[in-house]
Amino acid sequence: MSTQQDNNFQAIISHAKEYGFVFQSSEIYDGLSAVYDYGPNGSELKKNIRDYWWKSMTQLHENIVGIDAAIFMHPTTWKASGHVDNFSDPMIDNKDSKKRYRVDHLIEGFADELETKGEEQKAREILQHMDALLAKDDYAGLKKLIEDNKIKCAVSGTCNWTDIRQFNLMFDTKLGSVTDEADTIYLRPETAQGIFVNFLNVQKTARMKIPFGIAQTGKAFRNEIVARQFIFRMREFEQMEMQFFVRPGTEGDWYKYWKEARLQWHLSLGIDPSKYRYHDHIKLAHYAKEACDIEFEFPIGFKEVEGIHSRSDFDLTQHQVYSKKKMQYFDADIDEATGKPYGNYIPYVVETSIGLDRMFLLILSNAYHEETINKEDGTTDSRVVLHIPEKIAPNKLAILPLTKKDGLPEIARELMNECKPYFKCFYEEKDAIGKRYRRQDAIGTPFCVTIDHQTKEDNTVTIRYRDSMLQERILLSKVKDLVLEAVM
Ligand code: GAP
């Protein structure tokens, strides 16, 4: 990361704390590594992102329904899904600092440094070499790559590395009151398995016909080793996942469909398309047939925000084997090739999986701007503004009576009562109006309305737009609809 990028990232982290978006967990006890809490503005923004995703999946697609499965699942779930045996990352320890690294992150970090120094070609070659070695699980080759390039530990500064080993990322705990007798269960590392084990319950009770999807949002837990990039990589985080069940043989087309549809969802928030790119996987997860990431240009570089995975019938087949319950679907549609119904089969699955916290970071880092304002008198001023898309901003409208007297607060309160059933409003009487505008800019409120003495005469108010800072007078009676139109 260049110094400029680093400064920008640090500024966003500080801003997130100062304005009640994100706090370190248990901060009074010096925090807990890679665990974060969301404050008043952060929890609103996070909820709005979740709702925007949920609506796009379950309201705008008639063939997608939602569920809310428990975090704890029968331990056999994770044996069947392959997570007990395969959900591990190759790790390497530095013998001097005793610090452990994920091998791919260590090498990627080195490649980032090369890029910053202008050695893009060498960085690309190293990453390609790493991808090829990872695809073959060639740990000796990866260690050699680290040693040949003299990749150092950031703490000790030495190249004194152990061999590479696998490290499982699942957290476990005990179910039951007496620890020795209790069963080991896991905190789910992905929400997807709650969908797979409920496949038949949902298909039957909601009378779904293939192709159809099941969507879910909820917490997931991973004992991440490298966890030092704010809310980008957390140990407790939230996923928004959708499993789309399709007829075998059609998964390639559905994979292309969802790859495009998910990018369009991101762009529907008005974010610059040049900040997005796809990254097709070479090394596939144990369940995947085809897979790609949607990457975004975060202040720490282009990084994954969402994964689209063609998971074949792997998960349902595994659950059928381990549970001994049939996971089949009867397809009554006629196969033109045979003239007969498609009949019984285990559906194939295309998954879309996005991290809610990572999407939050995307919105925050895309929205954060330090701006210089040229004033009419020739002087300049500055402001920090969050250009959060109107639809998901924590507050949609700030209602600001110019003074605390002359009946202005009463008019403002009436407007507040009219609008608050429809969208989140913020009311404030204190401080000069310019100062109040700046505070709203800093938390991303798209509209501010000022009630002044003229309001009493002609029922008009000043509306001020966050992004352009333009102000105009409109009828008080038009405020609610103007905001509603922008945020719906
Ligand atoms: N069910 C598939 C699955 O879990 P994944 O690529 O491991 O796939 C999906 O995770 C998404 O979850 C990622 O694209 C990322 O946005 C988010 N995610 C994964 N690990 C995370 C972590 N430690 N902290 C925050 N978000 C994470």
Which of helix, strand or coil describes residue 54? helix
CATH class of the domain defined by 88-168 = alpha beta
Tokens 């640090």 identify what position? 10
- Checking if the pLDDT of 181 tops 70, the result is no
Rounded to the nearest angstrom, the distance between the alpha carbon of 355 and the centre of ligand 1 is 5
pLDDT above 70 covers what percent of the chain?
Answer: 97
- Checking if the pLDDT of 282 tops 90, the result is no
Helical spans, DSSP H, in 248-355: 251-267, 314-323
Mean pLDDT confidence for 168-197:
87
| Nearest CA residue ID for atom 25, ligand 1 | 233
Take residue 471 and report the two structure tokens written for it. 């102000």
| Nearest CA residue ID for atom 9, ligand 1 | 353
User: Is 241 a pocket residue for ligand 1 (Cβ < 6 Å)?
Assistant: yes
User: Is 37 a pocket residue for ligand 1 (Cβ < 6 Å)?
Assistant: no
User: Is 354 a pocket residue for ligand 1 (Cβ < 6 Å)?
Assistant: yes
DSSP, residue by residue, 104-124: HHHHHHHHHHHHHTT-HHHHH
Domain 3-73+170-363 and domain 88-168 have a common topology? no
Mean pLDDT confidence for 202-207:
97
Which of helix, strand or coil describes residue 166? strand
CATH homologous superfamily, domain 395-487:
Anticodon-binding domain (3.40.50.800)
Least confident among 108-117, 179-188, 302-311: 179-188
User: Is 480 a pocket residue for ligand 1 (Cβ < 6 Å)?
Assistant: no
pLDDT band at 179 (very low <50, low <70, confident <90, very high): low
Distances (CA, A) of 360 to 267, 355, 429: 15, 9, 30
Per the prediction, the chain carries an average pLDDT of 94
- Checking if the pLDDT of 178 tops 70, the result is no
- Checking if the pLDDT of 283 tops 90, the result is no
Mean pLDDT confidence for 54-67:
98
The pLDDT score that the predictor gives to residue 175 is: 85
Task: Output DSSP code: residue 161.
Answer: B
The preferred substitution site among 171, 263, 353 for testing ligand 1, maximizing ligand atoms within 8 Å of CB, is 353
Tokens 């928030």 identify what position? 269
**Residue 192 Cα: closest atom of ligand 1:** 1
Condensed to tens digits (0 to 9), the pLDDT of residues 211-258 reads: 999 999 999 999 987 666 899 999 999 999 999 999 999 999 999 999
pLDDT above 90 covers what percent of the chain?
Answer: 85
The preferred substitution site among 237, 258, 284, 315 for testing ligand 1, maximizing ligand atoms within 8 Å of CB, is 237
pLDDT band at 285 (very low <50, low <70, confident <90, very high): confident
Sorted by where each begins, the domain ranges of the chain are 3-73+170-363, 88-168, 395-487
Least confident among 126-135, 280-289, 296-305: 280-289
Does CATH place domain 3-73+170-363 in 3.40.50.150? no
Condensed to tens digits (0 to 9), the pLDDT of residues 401-435 reads: 999 999 999 999 999 999 999 999 999 999 999 99
Angle at 87 between CA 276 and CA 192, to 5 degrees: 65
**Sequence-separated (6 or more) residues with CB below 8 Å from residue 207:** none
Distances (CA, A) of 346 to 265, 325, 452: 29, 12, 66
pLDDT band at 297 (very low <50, low <70, confident <90, very high): very high
Which of helix, strand or coil describes residue 230? helix
